[in-house]
Amino acid sequence: MAGRAGRAPYGPLADNNGAMAIDKRSTRLGVLALISMLLIGAVGTRLWFLQGVEAASYQAKVTAAKIRQVLIPPERGRIFDARGRIMADNQRILTVAIDWSVIKKPKARQVLFERLSGPLTVPVIDLQRRYEPCFEEPTIPKCTKGQRYSTLLPLPLKEDVDEDTVTYLKERSEDFPGIQIVEQWKRVYPYAPLAGHVVGYLGPITKETVQQYKAKNYNTNELVGAFGVEMSMEDVLHGSWGKEVFEVDAAGGIVRELLDEHVDPIAGQDIQLTIDLVVQQYAEQALETKLKQRRNLPTDLLGQDIAAHNPIDPKKAPSQERVYSSSKEFGTQEWIQFKAPAGSVVVEDYSNGQILAMASYPRFDNRWMGAIGGDKFDQLFGEKIDPTTGKADPDKSVLVNRAVQGRYNLGSTIKPFVAWSAMHSGVIGANDIYIDRGTYKLESIPDDVCASGVRCEFKNATNVRTQRSSSYGPVAVADALAVSSDAFFYRLGEMFWMIDEHNAVLDPALKGKSTLKEGLQRFGFGAETGIQLPFEWNGRIPDDAVKKELVDNEVLGKNEEPRLLVGDNVQAAIGQGLMAVTPLQLTNAYSTIANGGFLRQPTIVKNILEPLVPDLSPGMADLSKAVIVLSFDAHAYKDQLEMPPEVYEPIIGGLSRVTNAGGERSPGVTDPSGFYHTTTGEKLFETYPMNALPIAGKTGTAQGAGSYPWNDSSVFGAFSLDASAPYTVVAYLEKSGFGSKAAGPVVKCLFTALAGRTFMDPVLPSDPLDLNALEPAPPTQLADSSCMPAAVDARD
């Protein structure tokens, strides 16, 4: 090892072969010098590039980092009803946030969060997950690591904190370093759950829509309209973001605001709807009251037509036929209550297309959205499982506005439009008489084909009293509408089918006439109405292409012909089979008859107003101070249907006889045997104040699965005959029985109320949302249901 003392003295090497050694030493030193030059050269070159060449671009980068932009949220436009009631409002809320810098260290973060957990009543783990989404959650696969909150703004810990908590935190600011109180907007719905489907709600921007919102300068973590008017009018309501730009020092402290760059936020425009909340509330109450009545019909009133009407014939069960007998005909039998799960009511002003009320049941309180999540949300709004089938039950889905999304058969309520199409096309004349013998046999199919099993006979509905298919004798258009003669319209269905060139044309006189589809399209069926609501369904009028598509998509069985058969058209003519519409389309179609042929676009928005309409009183906006930006108040009609008196009068006449608007003793039809057939609404409207507001209408009973009576859906469409109160009302109650028994009374009650003969409850701001509730919306009912007794004797 080093220093073996006493050995040779350490002198120069030169005494040996010194010259060579010196040479080698200098060579090796040269290598060292070379290495040092290389290293210093590398550093020097890099410095030259950094400081000499790239300095400017780095400076630009650094300058950008020294500017902090704070976005100022715009106040979202508010939504009023027609009278100015504030249906969607904004509330300033206080949010507790914390500077990122004070919670950078895990220990400090844990201590602070533990301290804050109590006052904020938020578990520590939830606070940790705001900082780090995957905190102590390694097993959950959907946990994404990305930070949800902007690191430029303080980390929000709890939204909507009450004043007491804020005071508590502020008083102890030395215990809570870095805590900031931030003001934010929160959407509130003072009258929820009224018109929940119409107003809609807000939701986060989804993956699918994020690009489109980014293009509109949205902040990706803001809430946007996700349903109803909130969604369809998002662009109007949103407003635009403002910003404050600050120059900050390297520690992040604000040096000054760059006032040149300041942009004030622009509040969103307010919206006045056409909805009148008083009528809306009444419609929702009437609908729910009636549906619940139909679910709980009395079973003890034997032999009376007001009892539950769905006995199962034990000899035939499971019955393939409709059973109309009252219970006395069978010994013991099981009663099946109507399911009556859902429904819809639409009230329209037929003079201008404005929707006064649009109810959809089941209702929901739009304050749930954003207030809850996860399991509770699934429990309230997730798929409801049908206990008998074990599958999801679409009848009970909540987040569907059935008025524009429902896909419904119309039943007999389609008949006025088929009648108009037939008369307009010239298939029949107003006074042509058809002799209704209770059944209709197809003419276009030869007898031998019929004998081979093809269905050629179509029956009228069975009369409750006679237990046989009603046979009305000679009827014209008006009579057929009044008593709802199916045979009359079956025949029209076949005649329309024969117009089509490649179907057999028996009668050359039919050639070239307009078809049923063309007629129905004039009323707006088969196309979106264009109302300002999302997810509207366009409806379906059957033709070859539609049927082929249904067969291809396996909606219909594979053995079905992929083209329209005569039977399909015959069914369509009485509103069954493939014909399907939304309640709103039906309403607007009745309005088109009511106003003498003007097809309008229904609208739910009355006016778009300048932002920040002031309040008049709590819950009311002062519309007198509102400035209208865009009005939908008196927009033009889209189409004018030809309604000469010879076409118009039989239709109006027939529909007036249904409700017996004329107050005649026998508005129905007496058949050749002398039997008097009442009109479908005659009994129902006996108690209606026809003098106060005369109305005409039509019942409909849409047959459901298996044609079981308990699957019948109830429809009624009616309109005022008084132009000073221009209302059309349509009610559709799923699986609730005859048109005159469920939907009819709802419409009747609404007209009674619109006529001023029933008191409609005043509308009051609602109670706070009960977060423990088990239903999406609290139950409601008519205060006075005398206009709709639980059971009514009437028939289809």
Binding footprint of another protein on the chain (CB under 8 A): 1-5, 7-8, 10-13, 16, 20-21, 24-26, 28-29, 31-33, 35-36, 39-40, 42-44, 46-48, 50-52, 54-56, 58-59, 61-62, 66, 132, 249-251
CB of 44 to another protein, least distance (A): 6
Which pairs with CB-CB distance under 8 Å and at least 24 residues apart come from 442-446?
442/494, 442/566, 442/567, 442/570, 443/494, 443/506, 444/494, 444/497, 444/498, 444/503, 444/504, 444/506, 444/566, 445/566
CB of 396 to another protein, least distance (A): 46
CB of 10 to another protein, least distance (A): 5
Half-sphere exposure at residue 25, Cβ-oriented, CA atoms within 13 angstroms? 9
Q: For another protein, give the closer residue by CB, 11 or 762.
A: 11
Torsion (CA) 418, 419, 424, 430 in degrees, nearest 10: 170
d(CA 730, CA 704): 19
Type of residue at 578: L
Tokens in use for 521? 């399209």
Q: Which residues are paired to 719 by β-bridges?
A: 696, 728
CB of 58 to another protein, least distance (A): 4
d(CA 484, CA 668): 10
- Determine if the peptide bond prior to 318 is cis (ω within 30°): yes
CB of 591 to another protein, least distance (A): 59
Q: For another protein, give the closer residue by CB, 60 or 783.
A: 60
Tokens in use for 18? 């010194």
Helices (H), 55-123: 55-65, 106-120
Q: Which residues contact 714 (CB under 8 A, 6 or more apart)?
A: 294, 700, 701, 702, 731, 732, 733, 736, 737, 738, 739, 741, 742, 743, 744
CA distances in angstroms from 45 to 42, 48, 52, 53, 61, listed in the order given:
5, 5, 10, 11, 22
Q: For another protein, give the closer residue by CB, 19 or 764.
A: 19
The answer to whether 734 touches 700, Cβ cutoff 8 Å, is: no
Tokens in use for 374? 């996860």
Evaluate the CA torsion angle 657, 658, 664, 665 in order and state its sign: positive
Label residue 42 exposed, middle or buried (CB < 10 Å: 0-12, 13-18, 19+). exposed
Closest C-alpha among 397, 74, 374, 100 to residue 223: 74
Q: Which residues contact 575 (CB under 8 A, 6 or more apart)?
A: 409, 410, 411, 412, 413, 414, 415, 700, 702
CB of 83 to another protein, least distance (A): 54
CB of 22 to another protein, least distance (A): 9
CB of 32 to another protein, least distance (A): 6
The answer to whether 311 touches 332, Cβ cutoff 8 Å, is: no
d(CA 107, CA 115): 12
Tokens in use for 351? 């003079």
CB of 84 to another protein, least distance (A): 51
Tokens in use for 755? 């006529």
Tokens in use for 232? 């369809």
Q: For another protein, give the closer residue by CB, 109 or 367.
A: 109
Q: For another protein, give the closer residue by CB, 44 or 373.
A: 44
Q: For another protein, give the closer residue by CB, 36 or 206.
A: 36
Three-state secondary-structure class, residue 411: helix
Q: For another protein, give the closer residue by CB, 12 or 453.
A: 12
CB of 138 to another protein, least distance (A): 16
> Crossing angle of helices 415-425/486-499, nearest 10°?
50
CA-derived radius of gyration, the chain: 37
Q: For another protein, give the closer residue by CB, 44 or 512.
A: 44
Is residue 605 within a helix (H) or strand (E), and if so which, with residue range? strand 605-609
Tokens in use for 118? 């109590």
CB of 217 to another protein, least distance (A): 25
d(CA 235, CA 76): 10
d(CA 790, CA 796): 17
* Residue-wise burial string across 427-445, b where 16 or more C-beta atoms lie within 10 A, e elsewhere: bbebeeebebebebebeeb
CB of 616 to another protein, least distance (A): 51
Q: For another protein, give the closer residue by CB, 9 or 374.
A: 9
CB of 116 to another protein, least distance (A): 20
The total number of residues written for the chain in this structure: 796
Q: For another protein, give the closer residue by CB, 250 or 636.
A: 250
CB of 556 to another protein, least distance (A): 54
CB of 102 to another protein, least distance (A): 14
CB of 179 to another protein, least distance (A): 21
CB of 254 to another protein, least distance (A): 14
Q: For another protein, give the closer residue by CB, 49 or 759.
A: 49
Q: For another protein, give the closer residue by CB, 105 or 468.
A: 105
Q: For another protein, give the closer residue by CB, 27 or 389.
A: 27
Tokens in use for 730? 């349509």
Q: For another protein, give the closer residue by CB, 44 or 426.
A: 44
Q: Which residues are paired to 261 by β-bridges?
A: none
Q: For another protein, give the closer residue by CB, 100 or 282.
A: 100
Q: For another protein, give the closer residue by CB, 249 or 260.
A: 249
Q: For another protein, give the closer residue by CB, 30 or 530.
A: 30
The answer to whether 157 touches 169, Cβ cutoff 8 Å, is: no
CB of 98 to another protein, least distance (A): 16
Q: For another protein, give the closer residue by CB, 40 or 371.
A: 40
